[in-house]
Amino acid sequence: MEKNGAINHSLSQVIQILYEIVVLKKYTFNSFLQRFIKIILEIIPADSCLIYFYDLDSKNFILIGSKVPHPLEIGNIVMKEGEGITGWVAKNKQTVAIEKKSYEDPRFKPFKELPEDTYESFLSVPIIDNNANVVGVINLQNRTAYKFSGEQIETVESLVKIIASAFANVVLEKRINHLENKLEER
């Protein structure tokens, strides 16, 4: 079934991809993020998909994944807790959908390094783990005005709930590997 231009992707294929990500853990961190982005983009046709990780230690949101490659920005775009729509979504644990002129929303925080920040529509969904802690936020943006349907929003929210624990585990594993490498360097 096509809805608002979304690509038809059978439920069994989405379940298979989720199974591979969550249960089999057969992906590296970056391929995990790319598969996750691919799943989301099967549901909502978006020109941009950005994933932010919430770093509990620094209380910051860090850009860790993107549909469009941003090699210089990944890991370097940082927002403070509560900052921007992303921070608001995390703080309030609520999804935000803006059909047009999202850049005029008073919560919006632009980054000159991201051309996506000039896009019209914006959907931001918190990634919440089983303990009701925010572990990240996923943002979808379109160049032109786009009304996100209730069904699309609910589906993304459901997928994010399913994937939240796996997301948190993958991010934790990455942090552990990073710390182990730093210890080895010493």
Q: What letter would DSSP give residue 1?
A: -
Question: Higher pLDDT residue, 37 or 31?
Answer: 37
Mean pLDDT for the stretch of residues 10-39: 67
Distance CA 51, CA 53 (A): 7
Residue 91 has pLDDT above 90, yes or no: yes
pLDDT of the residue at 26 = 63
Max avg pLDDT among 112-116, 145-149, 157-161: 145-149
Report pTM. 0.79
pLDDT for position 110: 78
Asked if pLDDT for residue 24 goes beyond 60, the answer is no
Q: Sort residue 46 into left (φ over 0), alpha (ψ -120 to 50) or beta.
A: beta
Q: What are phi and psi of 139, to 5 degrees?
A: -120, 135
Report helix, strand or coil for 110. coil
What is the mean predicted confidence (pLDDT) over 77-83? 89
